[in-house]
Copies of this chain bind each other. A is one copy, B any other.
């Protein structure tokens, strides 16, 4: 994938708003080895898909947190997006209830692991 400066700027602003991350953080974790994946994350996901006004920021994070908790294979990404959900106005009680609602559909282990992820993110937020 080729980088596009305008798209990159839009993505950088969006990832800041949603996750509180700087583009440098994405670069640091992916850019050395997989610059094309860095471009995909920053420019396609945050610079294109997240730009659509068809879902408000809050709902978009609820969808993302639900998808990652359901997969059960994305622990670091789940914690990052729980943090993003808090930034976008999802209340802690709502995040906990999302995990409860997942229990019958995605299985109780997904719910318990989701609560454990919430606990880590909430604790870290309380310390800052």
* Residues A63 and B62 in contact in the complex (CB < 8 Å), given A34-B100, A74-B72: yes
Please tell me if the beta carbons of A71 and B107 are within 8 angstroms of each other in the complex: yes
Does A9 make an interface contact (CB < 8 A)?
A: no
Residues of A within 8 A of B (CB): 1-2, 29-30, 33-34, 36-37, 40-41, 44-45, 48-49, 51-52, 54-55, 59-60, 62-64, 66-68, 70-74, 77, 93-94, 96-113, 115, 118-119, 122
Copies of this chain, whole number: 6
Q: Helix, strand, loop or mixed for chain A's interface?
A: helix
- A115 contacts across to B, CB distance below 8 A: 30, 33-34, 37
Please tell me if the beta carbons of B54 and A49 are within 8 angstroms of each other in the complex: no
